[in-house]
Amino acid sequence: MEVPNKVPHFIWRAVGESLPTKKNLVKRCVATDGHCGLCEVEVEDSIHALWLCDDVKPIWMSTQSFSFLRTQKLLTFEDLFCYLLQNATPS
């Protein structure tokens, strides 16, 4: 698949939990509060920031291609990525 280099780099960082999420910023003593800046309820890690946050869900639900994923129990971004790889349909 031909994509810009920044796409696999972003996925690699998200899977490895090395994005600058609030959880990681607290761990590095850069921030004092690890809660999501959008919903202010959950701790912001990669899966929450990119998939589980109630403020982000409408974006993914706006397309039929991703709505079926809401039925899956995904705990990490790696779970999401692996599920997508295993269930991808060739275009």
pLDDT tens digits for 64-83? 777 777 777 888 999 988 98
75, 47 Cβ separation under 8 angstroms: yes
Helix (H, G, I), strand (E, B) or coil at 35: strand
Q: What is the mean pLDDT of the chain?
A: 88
Q: How far apart are CA 75 and CA 67, in angstroms?
A: 17
Q: What is the pLDDT of residue 30?
A: 94
* Mean pLDDT (whole number) for 12-32: 95
For residue 16, what pLDDT band results from cuts at 50, 70 and 90?
A: very high
Q: Which residue has the tokens 């692996």?
A: 82
Q: What is the pLDDT of residue 90?
A: 62
pTM here? 0.81
